[in-house]
Amino acid sequence: MAVKRVLQYGEKSLREPSKEVHKVSRKIHELVQDLLDTMYAKNGVGMAAPQIGVNYRVFVVDVSKNDEPLNPLVFINPKIIKKSGAVIAQEGCISFPQAYTDVKRYANVTVKALDINGRAFVMEAKDGELLSRAIQHENDHLDGILFIDHCVNRFETDEVLAKHNLPPINPEMLADDSELDKELNK
């Protein structure tokens, strides 16, 4: 379909919760294709609809490596139904060009969603691998949550943001990661 303009950190709609998809229509199919086209054009591993200004609960992920064939995954109305373990890893976001920081994520997640054909599926992503982190990252976008809200060190993250001329963290938006903190301190 088309490569869309990606909203940048600081644009209001990135913080707005998204609406459920009631029907996997042609419009949703076109949205998914736009997300994939934009994600691949920007060399990303995931893209959520709010990042292109469409507040529907839809995201795509492709964690294939350079030498592997593309393997796009589509998640419509996703819900993380199980989570465990914890991991700290560097993350970035297409909406934050060139800005990377350490964030806390669950190591293992189980997500339930609809696929591009409107069929329900359940997927597990384990061991803190890229797929697990990408699902959580993109799912957060659907709730107006950004990766920096899970940062390990707010002040280091503010320095990274400043270096890239991005607004500082809003302390009120920081996630309550107490469950993750308990897991990390075991």
CA distances from 91 to 4, 53, 113, 130 (A): 22, 22, 23, 10
Q: What is the separation of C-alpha 11 from the centre of its chain, rounded to a whole number of angstroms?
A: 16
Q: Where are the alpha helices (DSSP H) in 42-175?
A: 130-141, 154-163
114 neighbors 123 (Cβ within 8 angstroms): no
Q: Which of 91, 138, 156, 159 is catalytic?
A: 138
76 neighbors 59 (Cβ within 8 angstroms): no
- Burial of 172 per CB tally in 10 Å (0-12, 13-18, 19+): exposed
CA distances from 83 to 105, 107, 124, 125 (A): 10, 8, 10, 10
Q: What is the residue type of 21?
A: V
Q: Identify whether 30 is a catalytic site residue.
A: no
- Active-site positions read 138
